[in-house]
Amino acid sequence: MIYDSSGGYVGTSKFPCFCGELADLWRSGTDENPGRLFVKCGMDKRCKYWEWEDEICARLPSKLKQPGRVGASGRFRAAAIEEETATSQQNRADMTVIRYSLLTIALACVWIASRQMSPVSKMIYDSSGGYVGTSKFPCFCGESADLWRSGTDENPGRLFVKCGMDKRCKYWEWEDEICARLPGKVKQPGRVGASGRFHAAGIEEETATSQQIRADMTVIRYSLLTIALACVWIASRV
């Protein structure tokens, strides 16, 4: 803050105006109140806030008052309020850190929720080749690979999985070859011949598990979005 004998702008005060921002500190240059400090809205008078600083300080608890008051005019020396000003600036910096931390948490929650958007779809089985649904196996991208049914003469109806992210990682593999590498308790009955074709009854239990996983992912997704909204709301109140 800058102090001189003439009236005019001094700096930013430690008191908030009705806009929620710190009000500006001014020094009176009138004959009635020479040198008396007052505060007013610093947002181009948006909220019309205006008040004498000594009247504000008179309402504060005694432990917040600083020595240095000079006469009935309520003028303060610079040293009398520098400490409070420094504290206010530190508090403002701390609130900024908290606000951005909450917003970062909110963005992280939204990002994690978006990563759970790939549904674990119920598999559809028919005799023709084509897209079946989302498999239970991850591709190299980390997402659940798509499940397809072969329509070729060499492998009619044989299931295979491939990258569902527009072939971003080039992943491709026969499903029965993946299942052959799984522990025995994970494998399901229903394998038909060397071609590795499966009928629906052979994987009904895994489909039910997939549906449960999908429900769990939905709960997690909405929980993360709720946390994100809460963080944004708290940040707006800080």
**Confidence band (pLDDT; 50, 70, 90) for 204?**
very low
Domain count, the chain: 3
**Same-domain pairing of 43 and 142:** no
Cα distance between residue 86 and residue 92, in whole Å: 10
- More confident site: 105 or 112: 105
Q: Is the pLDDT of residue 111 over 50?
A: yes
Mean pLDDT, rounded, for 156-175: 82
Write the CA distances from 80 to 15, 69, 86, integer angstroms: 15, 8, 12
Domain coverage including residue 160: 126-198
Phi, psi for residue 167 in degrees, rounded to 5 = 60, 35
State residue 137's pLDDT score: 82
One domain, residues 99 and 213:
yes
Are residues 103 and 144 located together in one domain of the fold?
no
Residues 115 and 211 in one domain: yes
Q: What is the mean pLDDT of the chain?
A: 71
Whether the predicted pLDDT of 198 surpasses 70: no
Can you tell me the distance from the alpha carbon of 214 to that of 212, in angstroms, rounded to the nearest whole number?
5
Torsion of CA 9, 11, 16, 18, to 10 degrees: 30
* Domain closes at, from 76, 111, 141: 76
Statement to judge: residues 8 and 33 lie in one domain:
yes
* Range with lowest mean pLDDT among 68-72, 112-116, 165-169: 68-72
Q: What pLDDT does residue 37 have? A: 92
- pLDDT at site 38: 92
Q: Is residue 153 included in any domain, yes or no? A: yes
Give the residue with greater pLDDT, 164 vs 161: 161
Is 161 inside any structural domain? yes
- For residue 13, which phi and psi values (nearest 5 degrees)? -80, 180
Q: Are residues 227 and 169 in the same domain?
A: no
pLDDT of residue 128: 60
**pLDDT tops 80 at residue 116:** no
Whether residue 174 has pLDDT greater than 70: yes
Q: What is the pLDDT of residues 133-154, one digit of tens each?
A: 888 788 887 788 888 888 888 8
Please say whether the beta carbons of 75 and 35 come within 8 A: yes
Q: Is the pLDDT of residue 196 over 50?
A: no
176 pLDDT more than 70:
yes
Question: What was the pLDDT predicted at 95?
Answer: 78
User: Domain ends where: 47, 76, 105?
Assistant: 76
Range of lowest pLDDT (49-53, 162-166, 198-202): 198-202
23-37, 164-178, 203-217: which has the highest mean pLDDT? 23-37
Q: Do 134 and 39 fall into the same domain?
A: no
User: Around Cβ 128, how many Cβ atoms within 10 Å?
Assistant: 8
Q: Quickly state the pLDDT bin for 67 (edges 50, 70, 90).
A: very low
Q: CA gyration radius for the chain?
A: 34
What's the pLDDT score for residue 188? 47
* 81 falls within a domain: no
